[in-house]
Homo-oligomer: A and B are copies of this chain.
Amino acid sequence: MKQLHVELGDRGYPIYIGSQLLKRADLYAGHIKSKQVLIVTNETVAPLYLDQVLQNLQPYQVETVILPDGEQFKTLEHLSRIFDKLLAAKFSRNATLIALGGGVIGDMGGFAAACYQRGIAFLQIPTTLLAQVDSSVGGKTGVNHPLGKNMIGAFYQPQCVLADTDVLDTLDDRQLAAGLAEVIKYGLIRDAGFFVWLESHIDALRARDKQALAYAIEQSCRNKAEIVAEDETESGVRATLNLGHTFGHAIETGAGYGVYLHGEAVAIGMCQAADLSLRKGWLSRQDVERIIALLRRAGLPVNPPAALDAERFLELMAVDKKNLDGKIRLILLEKIGKATLPIYVDRSLLELTLNTYGRD
Which of B118, B152, B155 has a CB less than 8 Å from the CB of A142? B118
Indicate if A222 sits at the interface (CB-CB under 8 A): no
**A118 near B153: Cβ-Cβ < 8 Å:** yes
Are A90 and B319 also in contact (CB < 8 A) when A76-B80, A80-B76, A155-B119 are? yes
Contact residues in B for A118 (Cβ distance below 8 Å): 140, 142, 153-155, 233
Contact residues in B for A84 (Cβ distance below 8 Å): 145, 147
- In the assembled complex, the Cα of A324 lies from the Cα of B35 at a distance in Å of 12
Name the segment of A109-117, A244-252, A286-294, A332-340 touching the other chain: A109-117
**B321 near A117: Cβ-Cβ < 8 Å:** yes
Chain A positions 254 through 283: 1 when the CB is less than 8 Å from some CB of chain B, otherwise 0: 000000000000000000000000000000
- In the assembled complex, the Cα of A91 lies from the Cα of B76 at a distance in Å of 19
Contact residues in B for A324 (Cβ distance below 8 Å): 90-93
Chain A positions 144 through 161: 1 when the CB is less than 8 Å from some CB of chain B, otherwise 0: 010110011111000000
**Nearest-neighbor residue (CB-CB) of A325 within chain B:** B92
Give the distance to chain B from A231, nearest Cβ to Cβ, in Å.
Answer: 13
Which of B92, B119, B151 has a CB less than 8 Å from the CB of A83? B151
**Nearest-neighbor residue (CB-CB) of A141 within chain B:** B118
- In the assembled complex, the Cα of A175 lies from the Cα of B145 at a distance in Å of 36
Give the distance to chain B from A183, nearest Cβ to Cβ, in Å.
Answer: 24
Give the distance to chain B from A159, nearest Cβ to Cβ, in Å.
Answer: 16
Contact residues in B for A140 (Cβ distance below 8 Å): 118
Chain A positions 173 through 212: 1 when the CB is less than 8 Å from some CB of chain B, otherwise 0: 0000000000000000000000000000000000000000
Indicate if A48 sits at the interface (CB-CB under 8 A): no
Which of B116, B119, B151 has a CB less than 8 Å from the CB of A87? B151
Contact residues in B for A154 (Cβ distance below 8 Å): 114-115, 118-119, 154
Chain A positions 110 through 142: 1 when the CB is less than 8 Å from some CB of chain B, otherwise 0: 000011111100000000000000000000101
Indicate if A1 sits at the interface (CB-CB under 8 A): no
- In the assembled complex, the Cα of A115 lies from the Cα of B118 at a distance in Å of 12
- In the assembled complex, the Cα of A118 lies from the Cα of B321 at a distance in Å of 11
**A83 near B115: Cβ-Cβ < 8 Å:** no
Contact residues in B for A155 (Cβ distance below 8 Å): 118-119
Contact residues in B for A114 (Cβ distance below 8 Å): 154
**Nearest-neighbor residue (CB-CB) of A318 within chain B:** B90
The 8 closest A-B pairs by CB, nearest first: A87-B147, A92-B324, A90-B324, A118-B153, A115-B152, A118-B155, A92-B325, A118-B154
A-B contact pairs, 23 of them (CB 8 A): A76-B76, A83-B145, A83-B151, A84-B145, A87-B145, A87-B147, A87-B151, A90-B326, A91-B324, A92-B324, A92-B325, A93-B321, A93-B324, A114-B154, A115-B115, A115-B142, A115-B154, A117-B153, A117-B321, A118-B140, A118-B153, A118-B154, A119-B155
